[in-house]
Amino acid sequence: MKGQGPRANDDIDWEAAYAGDVPDTPVDRDVVRIATELPPGSALDLGCGTGQNSIWLGARGWRVHGVDVARGAIRRAQSAAAKAGVTASFENADVTTWRTKERYDLVISTYALPSRGPGRRHALAVACDAVAPGGTLLICDFDESLADSGWMAADHLVSLDEITEALPGFELDEAEVRLTQHSHGSEASDLPVAIVVARQPGPLTQEA
């Protein structure tokens, strides 16, 4: 569920959004930046879309599980992973209700948070709970300062306070709003993005 363009309301038809000849979404720069500093381990990609971040991580030794509400996106992710020769698992599920008992060394949610309300609070809680001791959480989404532009519905935007307040007990490595380039069709724009990188205290434990 990659929000790479305007999200007008809560009634988005994600199946239609991924139908037909949809351009591939590039790997998120912040995923590359953060993951290259970490030893490969297990990773969870919430709102994975067509799997570009999951596949990039998998190609570099991470054991990745991606979750997305759009069946079409999951099918594309599975096909792309197979084509790339990457082992990654993908699950069709709604992050506003989905839960997991697994714990991961890296949990990412990039431009995929649900709109404000119970669903977003649930998704943020799941993201936090899924981080293993010593693990890292990366959340990136469009900042609330975009509200006045009319480019995206206000309920789909985020604030740093909203994210950081949902991370009790985490150690914050980064919490800032940064202009980041995003492509929409043939156009590219620098847009304000709220970026939070946090770590769960404790020793990092990984499978041998």
CATH of the domain at 95: 3.40.50.150
Report, as an integer, the average pLDDT of 151-162: 92
Range of the domain at 71: 41-199
Q: Each residue of 101-132: pLDDT tens digit?
A: 999 999 999 999 999 999 999 999 999 999 99
Give the pLDDT of residue 185.
Answer: 53
Cβ atoms < 10 Å from Cβ of 208: 2
Number of domains observed in the structure of the chain: 1
**Given a cut of 60, is residue 74 above it in pLDDT?**
yes
Question: Quick check: 73 and 54 in contact, CB under 8 A?
Answer: no
Cβ atoms < 10 Å from Cβ of 58: 23
Percent of the chain whose predicted confidence (pLDDT) is above 90: 75
**Given a cut of 50, is residue 165 above it in pLDDT?**
yes
Give the pLDDT of residue 3.
Answer: 44
Report, as an integer, the average pLDDT of 17-30: 69
34 assigned to some structural domain:
no
Question: Quick check: 25 and 2 in contact, CB under 8 A?
Answer: yes
User: What is the layout of strands, in order, in the sheet containing 187-199?
Assistant: 88-92, 63-68, 42-46, 104-110, 131-142, 187-199, 171-184
**Given a cut of 90, is residue 8 above it in pLDDT?**
no
- Mean pLDDT for the chain? 88
Q: SS3 of 29, please?
A: helix
**Given a cut of 50, is residue 7 above it in pLDDT?**
no
H helix or E strand, kind and range, residue 160: helix 160-164
Give the pLDDT of residue 194.
Answer: 97
Give the pLDDT of residue 6.
Answer: 36
Q: Which two tokens stand for residue 111?
A: 């431009």
49 assigned to some structural domain:
yes
Q: SS3 of 198, please?
A: strand
